[in-house]
């Protein structure tokens, strides 16, 4: 049977099922095939915090959304064109997000009376008119998988576990995704269990063949590769990109990388990734708690390494005292905060931007430090290199604010040329620096950067005191003198303020130069804001956009940019933390738009907000 092939420019697919149904693996493998094919893409994994929530219930639903296209895209998409629902809970949890006319591929085998009752269905929605607004494709995924694996020595339960591979095969056929990489992945993943590998491959191929032969799908879809700038690309998540950025920073600085970390969602994958790269001289230390992790990292920095600690909001709270110690000892230390929804334990697998004020002020005393925030998953690489550059050059701890959306999301990353990476090498103190030529002054500062010398402990002639008690300027002797403390506090602040002269100016995207409304953002809001701005401009509206990477210190021209527009709109996934800082410093009436739902903004939502601001002019 010859089937029609329809050309599309983009598609948004959401896989949804129980947390034990393998939806994250299915989405990841579909993403890998899509990246291999050459489409631009963006993903949004969404899963419960519990290791295994009750099967068949709404809290146990796990989903993976993928937006891929033949052109440049910025977000995982507002709403799926296709929902693959593995059970009634997955259908009910995601149905409200589906636009009218979207496709639903539903696993009919799981629509049993018991599963329907678990989520409050009195009758099966597949048998009444409640799904009339959508195009429903009923597929008995579970029983088809079991039938495809009848020749394998597997129990019925084990065979059913491969239904996600059947679904992956079906969707791979439906959207012309390559299959070789998935087969190779399964062979590698189950290399020690060849029977399981063969069963999963058989289920995957059965799903492909089902799409090819069934009359349920008379049309398949083709999305051509995107026209991206030439280069070598790979699909990468934010946590992977951040880990690679740390490795690159280690190489470019000539410093061994030491990671002191305690596992915490959603930052743990950085520890996992770095532990795989010992050949680059990377040392990873899984500490017994958050305080031990940052203490070890600071100790490594004292010893001449690039010290890094990774965590999320609750861990930053525990690390605060040691980060303050890094401020006063003026040692380079990278503190990576992959933000999640809080307070306290909060919603560990959901995303927020709620740690900015803690990064700014969450330590005792006047303890300023630079703050850097990546804007996309791939930008986590560059942000990590930049954070390391600042830490090493200015002898200061630096906070890098990623978040769960960036950490788990993925997109194509153009692998940079190593020759284009910045040189962030540094020189350690090698001898006395006092005017008499015989004394080492540990707090004698560089006249340009105000950084103090970095002396490796044990170097002959460079013996010096270091610790949390205030030090006298230059000599580093313990000092309780009020005037000295005032000078040291002010010079540490001046050092951080001076970094503004060493970072790029805030760039504004204002094509015609006559927009009266500026949309400002920071961190992971970049994609939704940029997509919303595109929509407004396409409809004929005039709006400017700017995005901050450096949050402390701010770029030197920030105030000038804010005052150049009649209105400034600032969307944040918090209750207005950056808006608070900007209002206080620049006395600009920032229009704050805030949501804390654990999910990124939708472009359509922001476009509506932007249009309302424009119309109110």
- At 226 the pLDDT is 96
Binning pLDDT at 50, 70 and 90, where does residue 143 land?
Answer: very high
**Is the pLDDT at 2 greater than 80, yes or no?**
no
pLDDT in tens, 75-87: 999 999 999 999 9
Sign of CA dihedral 590, 591, 597, 601: negative
CA–CA dist 244, 381 (Å, integer):
6
Stated pTM of the model: 0.96
Percent of the chain's residues with pLDDT above 90: 95
With contact defined as beta carbons under 8 Å apart, do 516 and 565 qualify? yes
- At 54 the pLDDT is 85
Percent of the chain's residues with pLDDT above 70: 100
- At 581 the pLDDT is 98
Binning pLDDT at 50, 70 and 90, where does residue 545 land?
Answer: very high
Sign of CA dihedral 332, 333, 338, 342: negative
Q: Which of 353, 344, 287 is nearest to 317 (CA)?
A: 344
CA–CA dist 279, 296 (Å, integer):
21
Alpha-carbon 344 to chain mean position: 20
Q: Which of 433, 383, 376, 445 is nearest to 405 (CA)?
A: 376
**Is the pLDDT at 428 greater than 80, yes or no?**
yes
pLDDT in tens, 335-387: 999 999 999 999 999 999 999 999 999 999 999 999 999 999 999 999 999 99
Alpha-carbon 189 to chain mean position: 25
**Is the pLDDT at 239 greater than 70, yes or no?**
yes
- At 50 the pLDDT is 84
Mean residue pLDDT across the chain = 96
For residues 446-452, give the mean pLDDT: 97
pLDDT in tens, 210-233: 999 998 898 999 999 999 999 999
For 607, residues 6+ apart whose C-beta sits below 8 A from its C-beta are 532, 535, 536
CA–CA dist 576, 559 (Å, integer):
18
With contact defined as beta carbons under 8 Å apart, do 370 and 552 qualify? yes
pLDDT in tens, 455-473: 999 999 999 988 999 999 9
pLDDT in tens, 198-208: 999 999 999 99
- At 282 the pLDDT is 97
- At 1 the pLDDT is 60
Which region among 1-10, 41-50, 269-278 has the lowest average model confidence (pLDDT)?
A: 1-10
With contact defined as beta carbons under 8 Å apart, do 14 and 94 qualify? yes
- At 27 the pLDDT is 97
Q: Which of 292, 294, 303, 280 is nearest to 336 (CA)?
A: 294
For residues 568-577, give the mean pLDDT: 98
What 429-437 contacts at long range (C-beta under 8 Å, 24+ apart), as own/partner pairs, is: 429/453, 429/454, 429/455, 429/456, 429/459, 429/462, 430/459, 431/461, 431/462, 432/461
Binning pLDDT at 50, 70 and 90, where does residue 509 land?
Answer: very high
Residue in the block written with tokens 């959306």: 405
| 577 compared with 153, residue with greater pLDDT | 577
For residues 442-454, give the mean pLDDT: 97
User: How many other C-beta atoms lie within 10 A of the C-beta of residue 474?
Assistant: 15
- At 51 the pLDDT is 76
For residues 85-107, give the mean pLDDT: 97
For residues 91-118, give the mean pLDDT: 96
Residue in the block written with tokens 């986590």: 380
For residues 253-261, give the mean pLDDT: 97
**Is the pLDDT at 53 greater than 90, yes or no?**
no
**Is the pLDDT at 297 greater than 70, yes or no?**
yes
Binning pLDDT at 50, 70 and 90, where does residue 617 land?
Answer: confident
CA–CA dist 93, 127 (Å, integer):
19
């Amino acid at each position: 049977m010859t089937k029609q092939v329809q050309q599309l420019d983009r598609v948004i697919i959401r896989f949804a099922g129980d947390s034990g149904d393998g939806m994250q693996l299915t989405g990841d493998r579909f993403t890998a095939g899509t990246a291999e094919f050459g489409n631009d893409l963006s993903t949004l994994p969404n899963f419960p915090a519990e290791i295994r929530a009750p099967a068949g219930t709404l809290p146990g639903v796990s989903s993976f959304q993928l937006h891929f296209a033949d052109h440049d895209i910025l977000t995982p998409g507002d709403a799926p064109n296709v929902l693959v629902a593995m059970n009634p809970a997955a259908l009910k949890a995601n149905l409200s997000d589906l636009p009218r006319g979207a496709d639903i591929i539903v696993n009919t085998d799981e629509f049993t009376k018991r599963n329907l009752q678990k989520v409050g269905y009195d009758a099966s929605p597949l048998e009444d008119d409640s799904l009339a607004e959508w195009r429903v494709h009923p597929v008995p995924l579970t029983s088809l998988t079991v039938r495809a694996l009848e020749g394998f020595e597997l129990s019925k339960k084990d065979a059913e576990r491969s239904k996600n591979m059947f679904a992956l095969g079906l969707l791979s056929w439906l959207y012309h995704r390559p299959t070789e990489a998935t087969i190779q992945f399964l062979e590698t993943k189950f290399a020690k269990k060849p029977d399981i590998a063969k069963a999963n491959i058989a289920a995957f191929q059965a799903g492909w063949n089902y799409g090819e032969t069934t009359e349920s799908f008379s049309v398949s879809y083709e999305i051509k590769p995107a026209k991206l700038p030439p280069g070598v690309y790979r699909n990468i998540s934010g946590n992977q990109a951040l880990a690679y950025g740390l490795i690159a920073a280690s190489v470019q600085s000539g410093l061994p990388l030491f990671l002191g970390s305690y596992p915490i969602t959603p930052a743990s994958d950085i520890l996992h990734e770095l532990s795989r790269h010992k050949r680059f001289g990377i040392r990873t230390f899984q500490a017994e708690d958050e305080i031990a992790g940052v203490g070890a990292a600071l100790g490594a920095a004292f010893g001449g390494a690039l010290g890094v600690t990774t965590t999320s909001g609750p861990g930053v709270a525990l690390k605060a005292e040691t980060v303050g110690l890094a401020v006063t000892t003026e040692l380079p230390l990278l503190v990576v905060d992959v933000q999640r929804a809080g307070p306290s334990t909060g919603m560990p697998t959901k995303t927020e931007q709620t740690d900015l004020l803690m990064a700014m002020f969450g330590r005792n005393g006047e303890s300023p430090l630079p703050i850097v925030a990546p804007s996309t998953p791939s930008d986590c690489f560059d942000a990590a290199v930049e954070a390391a550059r600042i830490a090493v050059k200015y002898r200061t701890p630096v906070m890098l604010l990623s978040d769960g959306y960036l950490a788990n999301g993925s997109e194509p990353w153009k692998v940079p040329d190593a020759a284009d990476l910045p040189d962030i090498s540094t020189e350690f103190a090698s001898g006395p620096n006092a005017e008499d030529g015989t004394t080492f002054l540990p707090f004698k500062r560089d006249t340009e950067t105000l950084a103090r010398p970095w002396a490796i402990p044990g170097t002959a002639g460079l013996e010096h005191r270091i610790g949390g008690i205030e030090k006298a300027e230059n000599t580093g002797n313990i000092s309780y003198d009020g005037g000295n403390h005032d000078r040291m506090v002010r010079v540490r602040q001046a050092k951080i303020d001076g970094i503004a002269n060493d970072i790029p100016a805030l760039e504004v995207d204002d094509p015609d130069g006559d927009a009266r409304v500026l949309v400002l953002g920071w961190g992971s809001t970049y994609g939704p804001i940029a997509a919303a701005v595109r929509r407004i401009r396409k409809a004929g509206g005039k709006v400017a956009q700017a995005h901050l990477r450096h949050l402390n210190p701010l770029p030197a021209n920030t105030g000038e940019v804010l005052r150049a527009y009649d209105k400034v709109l600032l969307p944040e996934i918090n209750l207005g933390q950056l808006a608070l800082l900007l209002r206080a410093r620049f006395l600009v009436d920032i229009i704050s738009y805030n949501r804390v739902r654990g999910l990124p903004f939708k472009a359509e939502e922001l476009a509506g907000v932007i249009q309302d601001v424009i119309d109110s002019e």
